[in-house]
Amino acid sequence: MRMKRIDTINVIPFIDIMLVLLVMVLTTATFIRTGLIPVDLPEAKGTAAEHKQSELKLTIEKDGTLILGEEKRPITLAEFEQKVTEGGKEMTVVLYSDKEAAFQNFVGVMDVLKRLGHEQLYIVTDKK
């Protein structure tokens, strides 16, 4: 039995696959660049809804002092609890804590949030 020598490679199926992949990449690349699929949103003539404050910034300083973000004044845990209660469960609490602050101060804030059943919490950290 004599073997036939293959002198050429059929690249047409390879080109077909590469063209399909190229079309897919180019199609998705336009969505990645803009981040959104372009949509024309409908217009409304109604008034805007009343905007409640949706974020409460709290800073724990090195010495354990609690600072309210927008007012930049020291507050107690009781005042913090009252602000969270007033804001409701939809409000987000953003916590900035000094890395050298006592852990007890952090635990106090977390205890208030747990007691109120509040789950919207962000802890801000530095990225290394």
81 neighbors 114 (Cβ within 8 angstroms): no
Q: What is the mean pLDDT of residues 21-43?
A: 66
Q: The whole model's pTM is what?
A: 0.54
pLDDT-based confidence at 119, cuts 50/70/90? confident
Specify the amino acid at residue 56: L
Strand locations in the chain (E): 55-60, 66-68, 73-75, 92-97, 121-124
Question: Which range (27-36, 65-74, 93-102) has the least confidence?
Answer: 27-36
Mean pLDDT of 108-117: 89
The predicted structure's pLDDT at residue 41: 55
Structure-derived torsion over alpha carbons of residues 28, 33, 38, 41, reported in degrees to the nearest 10: 140
Average pLDDT, rounded, for the chain: 79
